[in-house]
Amino acid sequence: MTPEKPITPPDVLNAPPEASVPPSHVVMARTTWREALALLACLTLFSTLHFLRPNRATHQHAAHLVGPIVYAYNADSADYVWLALRFPQGLATERGKIRRMRPLYPFLGWAAYQPLRLLEPLVPARAEALLQAQLAESGSGAIWAGIRPRQIIMAWLGEVGVNFLLVWLALGLLFAGLRVVFARRVAFLLALLPGLHFNTIDFLLVPHTEAFNLLVPALLVWTIARWQTGEWERQRAEGAGQIGALEQVSAPGREEEGRPPGGARLADALTSTGNSGRAGAFALGVFLLGKALLYPIANWMYEAARTRRPGAWRDLAVSLLLFAAPTLLYGALIKATGLAAYNHEITHYRQFIWMLDELKAGHGGDIPHHLAFGLVTTLRQALLGFLAPYIVMGALILRRNRSNFALPALYGRHIGVYTLAGLAFWTLSGFYMTRLTLTLFPLPLFALGTLAIRKTDRPAVWLTAALILEALLHLAGAYLY
């Protein structure tokens, strides 16, 4: 993240009628440190909404801090903190087996706790007393045998820090992906919207894996941006009839305008092989160890089918291998230790296998009805989860067009594939929660950005209004179902 000067593509306020027309100079803009810190500052500000309107429908426990200020936390939070303190041995226990196949978050919590252990002597006695009273009230005191209150506090703070890091990374990836088609200010405001979503606010300060609901689709948006810049590069090379043009642009020793030198080039090199998305596939596979969101891989399959570029199917095969590698390696490690794989979502909630249960019970005829109910429920929850953006979009649709701006076709198709795959995933899972539809944010986000530019000369004003409305709806408790 270094200062840079490129505009990739032309500023949308002066964009050509067809946004899919490749710009004359293709560079995927980097997020500067100033922009990254601004994202973090906004995220920190948003987190205060957790105290102003704690979601007691989702968080069963609460600690009264000062006056009316309440910190609410989830029933699973204690387990995540306990696992961070007992990692990795805790995964082998009866309590820890629930998270056994999702070890990434406990590992990150453990890693964050290690340096914080040095600060344990600084924990105030009042904080220890408050924690002990809270543990007694929540009924989780028994699991903390042999663990000091100061350790719990530091591990808890460590996992909150992990949440901030994951969400901050998500917003950074999202901003970079948006910058390929939107102007800087528009992209920045759009990137903030998922950060203000109630699922983000409710869990940002709470030990839990919900940050992956934002990180996984943000990674996909970033990968789509890589595919789009690669598409523009190929179009530009073909249009100029210069097969070697791209090699000259990326030749060693040549500094492209706006391309950061040094270490920043390493990240670019990881995905420079035709913008194949291999790095994105591997990162998605790693995130799968945090939360089992499988369906974005459909976009890699679509990209291979869409493009006629030589080696596309080879890239897909490599991407699928990279995607599966983290889970396969971890599964082999679990087997080598003699532990049994355990999937709580399938075993307890019967996700995806509920249809087999219906068939075994002789109720196969009910499956279409349940699927229809699941689809309608997921659509309704997705609408309610992004109520503020949709309200603003409704107002924008009533206005006359001010420009002919349109998303590149590649973006639109990939967002469509991702949305359909996500709807199918949640419908087939048989597990419906409004907060989980945060994973479907790309569609309303890009639709809002496109409408704001097409319908008004001041898109930033409308996007700011969407952010304010989102905050007001949260304070009003509109999302506390």
pLDDT digit string (tens) for 66-104?
Answer: 878 889 999 899 999 999 999 999 999 999 999 999 999
With 90 as the cut, is the pLDDT of residue 142 above it? no
User: Of 208-222, 225-239, 280-294, 456-470, which gets the smallest average pLDDT?
Assistant: 225-239
With 50 as the cut, is the pLDDT of residue 258 above it? no
Q: Which residue has the tokens 């009839």?
A: 241
What span, in angstroms and rounded, lies between the C-alpha atoms of 73 and 58?
8
| 305-362: pLDDT as tens digits | 998 777 888 989 999 999 999 999 999 999 999 999 998 889 988 999 999 999 999 9
**Given this model, what pLDDT does residue 350 score?**
92
Token pair in block for residue 37: 């810190």
Q: Specify whether the CB–CB gap between 286 and 206 falls below 8 A.
A: no
Token pair in block for residue 387: 């109520």
Residue 70's DSSP bridge partners are 64
Cα 276 from chain centroid?
20
**Given this model, what pLDDT does residue 62 score?**
87
With 70 as the cut, is the pLDDT of residue 61 above it? yes
Token pair in block for residue 190: 């759009």
Instruction: Quote the longest CA-to-CA distance of the chain.
Output: 73
With 80 as the cut, is the pLDDT of residue 273 above it? no
Which amino acid, 274? G
With 70 as the cut, is the pLDDT of residue 374 above it? yes
* Mean of per-residue pLDDT scores for the chain: 86
| 11-55: pLDDT as tens digits | 443 343 334 344 444 456 677 889 999 999 999 999 999 998 888
User: Of 91-100, 130-139, 329-338, 369-378, which gets the smallest average pLDDT?
Assistant: 130-139
Enclosing H/E stretch for 451: helix 442-455
What span, in angstroms and rounded, lies between the C-alpha atoms of 448 and 464?
12
| 211-254: pLDDT as tens digits | 999 999 999 999 999 999 888 877 777 766 544 444 444 333 33
**Mean pLDDT score, 401-411:** 94
What span, in angstroms and rounded, lies between the C-alpha atoms of 368 and 355?
10
**Mean pLDDT score, 105-121:** 97
Closest by Cα among 408, 407, 392 to 456: 392
Token pair in block for residue 76: 């699973």
